[in-house]
Structure 1
């Protein structure tokens, strides 16, 4: 069985810029300021439709952020419980957590969105945005659970033994000793999942949630500027993603600096 720590050596999704990685660091600046310059050029040279698109989507940006932030908070809580369940010595708890992870990872997010939306709708009326948050949280909670499990397992067992020898019980050892150390390992992949979740929120437009993509589709259907609309939507997503990746890199730097 491969060491859990190996899971963090190769970034899987969005690359997070770090000062020591000069190539990636410079590429971030090129992409970010290139996107800003492109938007400025398009708005100045062709205010109709590009400026009109920018005026049409701000509420969609707000909805996207609301769904993203709410979903990441709930997915972190679910992920922590799942990760603890995955390392639990209780076979029943371990089985529940492991089954949840396997089921969620085996079903595409789009299918989960449809299923949760219509399944919940058979029993009670759930607002579109609430259904979207539930689906995103449940899906990403499984991936967060694996990140927490691997991060906890990456801490040397001697830390647990030392804490127990000082009189800490299991809960105190986990939350006061292991998790604070594991967070340094957990933060980069959690940051990646945060950025992936932001991009995956584009799927919630199928539920009628007025996110960035949904607002863009509405503008395009009214104006027939499909190419121009999706060009602007792509640039807006790119800028938001790059800003978030920079924020995560800063957080990681501070965590490592004060550790």
Structure 2
């Protein structure tokens, strides 16, 4: 018989009153927005940035997850050089604030990347086969995506590393005895078990990235925060504007958190069968 999760028995009878309270507040705010011409106008303008916020978050998280998994595998490599490189990367990137990283990638990294691309393509450019790449060709939105991807990849790498190391070594040895290759062991044995440990902190990083995506407004990217900033600076309705901005972010993050919690519970039940 599989023992119950330590939190399951104490929380089975707990009614989610916090969720009821949030739902009541959300409905009340929705009624206020619908019944006020000012709030409707603010919501219409600010909500135009929802698409950019979601796009930046999804792209940034996708690339951060892929890069983080690669860094984690390097950290677990049998080669000391790869382990040292991975450790150097995670320690340096985790020590730099996301806002500083945004400025650095946007105004230092992007010009350097464009210069490198032009250097590689210099034979074609000299022959007149193509035009040199300009810094403005790399949009501010993509610079923000690159910065978020790099910034979060270091944290996600540690999540993957801890999750992979949580798998019982005896099962890995058994997979070796069955003749599975390193790739097959990871795909068939390690990752399916590690994902149950990885998912909760990975979901937390996704929620955090939604909130940190608001920092891209400092680059002029037209996300929710930037649209609110533009409207508030012109109308001087700061209370109404930033109340709507906070409301939209809360809807996005709480909705995502509830979805991730349900997925986590489903994976936990699957693992106990």
Range of TM-score over shorter length: 0.7 to 0.9
Q: How many angstroms apart in 2 are the aligned matches of 1:205 and 1:229?
A: 15
In the TM superposition, what is the alpha-carbon distance from 1:21 to its structure 2 partner? 6.7
Contact 1:129-1:209 within 8 A present in 2 as well:
yes
Contact 1:75-1:144 within 8 A present in 2 as well:
yes
RMSD: 1.8
Report what 1:116 is aligned to: 105
- Once the two structures are overlaid, the 10-residue window that deviates more, 26-35 or 53-62, is 26-35
The 3 A distance-change label for structure 1 pair 128 and 37 is same
Q: How does 1:234-249 map to 2 (within 5 A)?
A: 234-249=246-261
Report what 1:3 is aligned to: none
Q: How many angstroms apart in 2 are the aligned matches of 1:70 and 1:32?
A: 29
In the TM superposition, what is the alpha-carbon distance from 1:171 to its structure 2 partner? 1.8
The Cα offsets for residues 205-236 of structure 1, whole Å up to 9 and x where unpaired, read as 00110000000011111211011101111111
Which of 79, 87, 92 matches 2:68?
A: 79
Q: Does 1:43 align with 2:30?
A: no
Q: How many angstroms apart in 1 are the aligned matches of 2:222 and 2:85?
A: 35
Report what 1:34 is aligned to: 25
Report what 2:91 is aligned to: 102
Q: What is the SS of the residue equivalent to 2:96?
A: coil
Q: Does 1:52 align with 2:41?
A: yes
Q: How does 1:74-223 map to 2 (within 5 A)?
A: 74-123=63-112, 124=114, 125=135, 126-223=138-235
Task: Give ranges in structure 1 of 5+ residues lacking alignment.
Answer: 1-8, 10-18
TM-score of the superposed pair, with normalisation by structure 2: 0.83
Contact 2:110-2:143 within 8 A present in 1 as well:
no
Question: What is the number of residues matched between the two proteins?
Answer: 240
In the TM superposition, what is the alpha-carbon distance from 1:22 to its structure 2 partner? 6.3
Higher gyration radius (CA): 2
The 3 A distance-change label for structure 1 pair 246 and 48 is same
The Cα offsets for residues 126-146 of structure 1, whole Å up to 9 and x where unpaired, read as 201100110001011100000
The 3 A distance-change label for structure 1 pair 121 and 147 is closer
Q: How many angstroms apart in 2 are the aligned matches of 1:241 and 1:33?
A: 17
In the TM superposition, what is the alpha-carbon distance from 1:23 to its structure 2 partner? 5.6
Q: Does 1:67 align with 2:56?
A: yes
Q: How many angstroms apart in 2 are the aligned matches of 1:21 and 1:223?
A: 49
